Structure formats: C-alpha cells, structure tokens
Amino acid sequence: MNRVFVAGIGAVSPAGWNVAALRDALDRGEPLPAQELARPGWDKPLCARGVPNPPVRPDFLAHPRLRRTSPITHYAAAAALQAAASLPANAGAKNSRLGLIACSQSGCVQYSCRFYDETMKDPATASPLIFPETVYAAPASHVAVLLENVVLAYSLVGDPGAFLQGVALGAQWLAENRVDACLVIGAEETNWIIADAIRYLEPPQLPAAGAGALCLCRDQQLTSGVELAAITDAHTYSARRDRAQAALAMRRQLGGNAATELLVDGLGDCSRADAPECAAWKDWSGARISPKKVLGEAMMAAAALQCVAACDAVAHKRFAAANVSIVGSYEQAIGARFTQV
Amino acid sequence: MGNAQIEVTLMLFPLKNFHAALPRVAVTGAGVVTALGLGWKPNAEGFRAGRRGFRPVTQFDVSRQRVKNAAEVDLPVSLPATRLNHRQLARLDRAAKMLVLAAHDAWLQAGWQVSGDLPLVLGTTAGGMLLGEAYYRQAVREPANPRQQATRAVYYQPAAQARLVFDALGCSGPVTIISNACASGANAIGHAWDLIRSGQADRVMTGGYDALGELVFSGFDSLQALSPTACRPFDAQRDGLALGEGAAIVALETLSSAQRRGAEILGEIVGYGTSIDQHHLTQPHPQGSTTLAVMKQACASAGVMPDEIDYINAHGTGTVLNDSSEALAISEWAGPRAATLPVSSTKASIGHLLGGAGAVEAVVCLMALREQWLPPQMIFEKPDAACRFPIVRKPRDARVNTALSNSFGFGGVNAALIFRRWA
C-alpha cells in the first residue's frame, strides 16, 4: 500500500501569517473582525475579512520575481514555505524533486479587475505589467521559483473541493515516484467584486482571503506525525444528484463517529448554503470546529485551511484522527481523513 | 443509452492498485471547434489545405487596440439537441457553447454509455471569462442592478461550465480543471492519459477550450505580443502571435476496452511529458531547456526515439522568444534527424487558442495520423536561424505513424504529447 504522510503545514489567514495564529483564532472561536471595502458607486457596507499585514515583512518578498505579484501569490508563497520548511531537515530532501499543485477558485481577482478596468477605460493604455499576473498559473509559477527544485506543477481551478482532488493528485505523483514530496496549496485573495458575488450567492457570509498548504511525502522519517488516511470520491452534483445527496454520499464514505475524532466542517454563516452539510453530519457526536465561522468564506483557501486545522490538531495529539468535510457551492462534496502516525 | 447510475464505492485515496502492465490508451472520439469550422471534417480539410481563419474581430470593440484581427469561430444559431433545458442553454456563454459542441461530437463518436463516474479533465485559461467581464461591466456601470449577476457569478467558473457538459451528455463524475495557462489543454489530456495508465480510470473525457475575450485580447495586445501583420511561426521575420478561439474534446479509454466494444479507434496516445520552466513568468528559457526535457520525457514514456517521430506540431506561437527557444530545443532533441523532421505550427491557421491550443493541436495530430497528411504553414518565407528542421510549407500527403505535439504556457509549464497511428 502507498502510504502518504503530511511532512508540514502552512497557513496564512485573517488570523495571521502562520499556523499558530490560525490555531489560536480557532481555539477562541470568535469571528475575526471584518474590514470595510471600497466599491465604486456603492455606498452600502461591503465587508471582508482580509489578511492583516505581517508584523515583519517576509524575506521572500525581496525576491525579484515577486516584485509585481498580487496578494494571492504572497499568501501562497508564505504557506508553501512554511509547509516545506520540514524538508531541508533531511539532507536527502534538499535535492528532492518537488511537486507543486496550486488550487484556487477565483484566482488573481485584484489584478484581473484592475486590468479589465484599464481596458474598459482605454485598452491602448492598459498596463502590460499587470496582465501576466492575472492568469491562474501565476502563483504556482512564482512559488516554484522560490522553492527552486519543483519539477512538476499544476494549477487546478474549481470549487473548494478541488483542494482535496489536488491532495489526491499529489498522492498519485508520489505513488508513481514522479516526485519525492508534493506541496498542495489552496489560496485566494479578495476584493469588492468577490464580496459583491458572495452577497448574491451566500448572504450574509463574509468573504475572506488567505492560503493553506500541505507538504505530502512518502518518507515516514519526515512526517509531522500525520498520515493521510482517506479522501472520498468527488461526489459531483448533477441533474440526478443534488448537493444534499452528494453531501450524504461523502459522509457515508468517510464514516467514523468516535469521541476521539475531530470534524473540521465547512459550515459558515449562510444557513441555506450550509443546510446539506448540516444534514449530512447531524449524527456526529464528536468534537467539531467550523473555521469559516471564524475566518469567513475564503473558498479554496478555506478548504485548505480546514485541512491545515485538521492536521494541526492531529499533529498536536489533540485527536487521534480528524475528518474534513467540504460541500462545495456548485461542483462537489468531498471529504478527507487524517490520522496520527 | 442506458440510464442506470453506477454506484461509486472506491475512494480517491487510498489509490486504486496500479496495473501490473500499463494499459495502452486509445482515442475513440474527437470533437473540435475552430475558426476553420465545427467538427472533424471541415477542420481536417482546412488544416490539410493550410487555410487561415483570421478576420477583423467582431466580438468586442478593437478600435483602440494595436491589432484588430483574430481567428473567430462562427457558432451555429442553435446547438445540437442535448439534455440541456432552455434555462441551462441560456447560461452557456461563447466558451461553454464551443465546449459543449466539441464534447457532444466526441461523445457521439465514442458511443459511450451514460455513467455516473466518468472523469472529465479540462484545460482552460479563462473559462467563462466573458460572463466575468459582463459581471464587472454591470457592477461598475449599474451598481444597483442585480439582473443576471448571480448567474454570471456561478457560470463564469470553469467547473460550472464542466457541469453543463455533463448535464448535456446525461453523465456525471469527477471534474478536474487544469489551468496551466497555454499548456492547459495538453496537460489535461496528459493527466487523463495518466489516470488511465495508472488504473485510476478506464475512460476519461478530456480536452481544452477558450473563447476570445476583451480582457485577454487586450492583455496580449498590451504586451505587444500580437502580430500586426500575419502570424508566421519560426519565420525569421515573425512579429508576434495571433489569437483564436475554440475547443477540442477527446474520448480516451483503454485500448482493450475500445477493442472489446468494437469502437472506431482514431489513434493512440503513447507518451506525455511535463515540467516547469522557472526562467521567467512570460518568457521561456532562451535555450529551451525545459522544452527539451519534456520532449525527452514524452519519448521515454512512449518508448520511442526522435528518429521514430514523423511530425511535430510545434507550440510555435510566432513570437520571437518562443520560437527561437523551441527551435533550439527541437533541433537539439532531434539531433541528425532534425534535417528531415517535418515541423509546423497550426497556430498559423487558427491562431493561439490558449487553454484550447494543446487539445486542438492533439486533434490535428490525430487527423494527420489517420489521414496521412501534414498541415502546412502557407505564409512562411525564411526560417529562423535556430531551425535545423524543415517547416511544412505546402499541403502534402505523408507517411505519419508517430506525431509529437508541444505546448507551453505563461508561468512556465511545458507539456509534450506523443500520438501513434492506429492501423
């Protein structure tokens, strides 16, 4: 059997620029403060939970490749570097072949809006410096340069469940011996247009930004004490299977309901959107945390941060196992289970 | 078609057991939409003749752009009958229409049964960006007008468009969207090939798509990457790329499954290589080192040597930097074989389809293998100094048993696919 371990985790969230800040915020369980966003022609409140400025400017931001990058790249890079920090401890890993899978739902919205705004005003003066940063693949490209030994990189786009598909893909690359370790990152930035869209789709949920990263490996020596035990199928919604049915199918595959286990669910502040997931887990009697209630709706980053929180709880031996439940908004329900090594 | 949904019991992880012997992967369906036409036949005729599909852009205002032409697709007034209802049809933007058209053709040709666990792997750079642009325009110009905004917010997302493909076909299954910029389509097909070879799936629908949009057109124009004259890849006087739009979807399955069903086999995919060039966000390494590496990888996985490749469909965008880098890589990779190895870039005919490019060019390779011709570049004068290989300049029949297709993207992801004739 191909065992896959979690060598390291990384997080950037509205709580701060590391996993400890995320852990503290989730332990407190209080919704983090929101900031008001400026939107052209809109005088009603429009809020988001952004990532605070780091207390000290991270060293990696001095890299020339990151000069013009947008916040999503900064978040992805910070989370990835934290998660990969465990690798150099092993001499052999310094020359290891790294895989990189960067997942997002909205991607580089800040530069996309800025560039399109310039195009609408006058395409002849739209900035060529901004456009390359609007592509979904930009964050993965920049992170690969920082990590240097990336040999294989994919950027995946989808609803938040795509993060766990990315983890499964990383496991496949490891099993096929195409890489020695694989970083899987979920990252998002936010702005007024995301807040506007969430106002339509998931009111009163607040948008958020950030990134979470898992560093996967097959080497038990490198593990942080966490093993990837299972990822369910991607239960896709269709004309024949609605979100509630898909959520139940995911729940059935994930199983488990022990007092020693943690459930990290994807519930937020939108009761209509949350209803299928609530129903799927109504019999859960163990401990449970809902990071989105604290952090906000960070889409792919939210899914990644759920996994980071689950791995962190297992690594600190708070629980023997942690289950992650992701019931995406329009694509799929998918879950994962992490256990102590 | 049956209607029974297959109950899925295996999980994404732990991984299914790998095959002891790697299965061969056959292509049993192909749908293609480009400026040359809708479907295999008009495209094959167009590529074989080296026809060019460029014209003044009609989809948006280009009066203030430096370049004003692109290879636009003429979409039909109505789509062929599928399982999509009127409400769903109304949600299809230009990109999704091309995607559904290509998927529908591939599906019909493959003759597959409806199932609930068919993986769909798509490559795109923009998905439903046209809906995103419409959302932005309305949000800025009429902030209080909510009309259609919720629908746009959902259906600009490529995974929502993928779901419409499934609904059109009556299928469902896991969807993977790869967005490795202009390598996306090739990576999607390569990933689908990986899924079958590793035993994770027995069949996969895969391909890529992108529609022309104002943001992307303006982006390439602002970079001065668009040709103000004519796109002529590998020409010493080349001055940029030309944009196009389109989609291609292929139905992949194990060769044994295709043979068991008695399906028509369009060709085999036998090799795939991919890696990332870290030189620059938008520029390839001048020596094409990553291109060389992925071509070698693809050959190693196919078990073939450069001598056995009969045709290369190059990435060949027509930009100065891409083509010189790719030419150096092909020349070094091919060695003495380069002198007689036919190369062309079909972007000279249909433009650069971005996320759709690798998938459409895969179908062009299948056409060349199946019908035994080489697609020419009709506008070409003098080769770049780095080209040690001949560019196909005139329509001609040829013996083509194995073909290689290159695709590279912003961000540095390179991919190469190798196809073999089925005879």
pLDDT digits (tens, 9 = 90+) for A157-167: 999 999 999 99
Would an 8 Å CB–CB cutoff place A272 in contact with chain B? no
Burial of residue A309, with CB atoms counted within 10 A of its CB: 0-12 exposed, 13-18 middle, 19 or more buried = buried
B421 close to B406: Cβ distance less than 8 angstroms: no
Tell me how many degrees the CA angle A228-A230-A231 measures, rounded to the nearest 5. Answer: 110
> Of the ranges A226-240, A323-337, B15-29, B154-168, which one carries the lowest mean pLDDT score?
B15-29
Give the model confidence (pLDDT) of B59-109 as tens digits.
999 999 999 999 999 999 999 999 999 999 999 999 999 999 999 999 999
Residue B32 contacts by C-beta under 8 Å, 6 or more apart in sequence?
B39, B40, B43, B102, B105, B246, B247, B248, B360, B363
Model ipTM value: 0.97
Chain B hits for A105, CB-CB cut-off 8 Å, are 157
* Alpha-carbon distance A107 to nearest alpha carbon in chain B (angstroms): 11
Q: Which of residues 131-170 of A touch B (CB under 8 A)?
A: 131-138, 140-142, 144-145, 148, 150-159, 162, 164-165, 167-169
With a pLDDT cut of 90, the percent of chain B lying above it is 93
A13 close to A292: Cβ distance less than 8 angstroms: no
Q: Which of residues 168-227 of A touch B (CB under 8 A)?
A: 168-169, 171-172, 175-176, 193, 196-197, 200-201
With a pLDDT cut of 70, the percent of chain A lying above it is 97
pLDDT of residue A255: 85
* Alpha-carbon distance B95 to nearest alpha carbon in chain A (angstroms): 16
B174 close to B191: Cβ distance less than 8 angstroms: no
Would an 8 Å CB–CB cutoff place A270 in contact with chain B? no
B180 residue type, one letter: N
Give the model confidence (pLDDT) of A96-136 as tens digits.
899 999 999 999 999 999 999 999 999 999 999 999 999 99
Give the model confidence (pLDDT) of A175-192 as tens digits.
999 999 999 999 999 999
A7 close to A80: Cβ distance less than 8 angstroms: no
Report the C-alpha dihedral over residues A126, A129, A134, A139, rounded to 10 degrees: -170
Are the Cβ atoms of A331 and B180 closer than 8 angstroms?
no
pLDDT of residue B224: 96
Residue to mutate among A72, A236, A337, with most B CBs inside 10 A, is A236
Q: What mean pLDDT do residues A198-216 have?
A: 96
Q: Which of A42, A169, A236 sits opposite B175 (nearest CB)?
A: A236
A216 close to A171: Cβ distance less than 8 angstroms: yes
Q: CA-nearest residue of chain A to B155? A: A330
Give the model confidence (pLDDT) of B9-33 as tens digits.
468 999 877 667 899 999 999 999 9
Q: CA-nearest residue of chain B to A68? A: B281
Alpha helices (H) in B198-319, listed in sequence order:
214-222, 255-261, 289-302
**Sign (positive or negative) of CA dihedral A44, A45, A50, A56:** positive
Chain B hits for A151, CB-CB cut-off 8 Å, are 275-276
Q: Which of residues 18-47 of A touch B (CB under 8 A)?
A: 39-42
Q: What pLDDT tens digit does each residue of chain B (423 aa) get?
A: 333 333 344 689 998 776 678 999 999 999 999 999 999 999 999 999 999 999 999 999 999 999 999 999 999 999 999 999 999 999 999 999 999 999 999 999 999 999 888 999 999 999 999 999 999 999 999 999 999 999 999 999 999 999 999 999 999 999 999 999 999 999 999 999 999 999 999 999 999 999 999 999 999 999 999 999 999 999 999 999 999 999 999 999 999 999 999 999 999 999 999 999 988 888 999 999 999 999 999 999 999 999 999 999 999 999 999 999 999 999 999 999 999 999 999 999 999 999 999 999 999 999 999 999 999 999 999 999 999 999 999 999 999 999 999 999 999 999 999 999 998
pLDDT of residue A94: 52
* Alpha-carbon distance A136 to nearest alpha carbon in chain B (angstroms): 6
A183 close to A80: Cβ distance less than 8 angstroms: yes
Are the Cβ atoms of B159 and A157 closer than 8 angstroms?
yes
CB-hemisphere CA count at 13 Å for B273?
Answer: 20
pLDDT of residue A220: 83
**Residue A240 pLDDT level (bands cut at 50, 70, 90):** confident
Greatest alpha-carbon pair distance for chain B in Å reads 66
Has residue A170 got a pLDDT over 60? yes
Are the Cβ atoms of A234 and B149 closer than 8 angstroms?
no
pLDDT of residue B132: 97
pLDDT of residue A1: 59
Catalogue the active-site residues of B: 182, 315, 352
Interface size between A and B, measured as CB pairs under 8 A = 237
Q: CA-nearest residue of chain A to B409? A: A137
Chain B hits for A126, CB-CB cut-off 8 Å, are 218-219, 222
pLDDT of residue B19: 64
pLDDT of residue A315: 97
Task: Report the 3 state secondary structure along B320-352.
Answer: HHHHHHHHHHHHHHHHHHHHHCCEECCHHHHCE
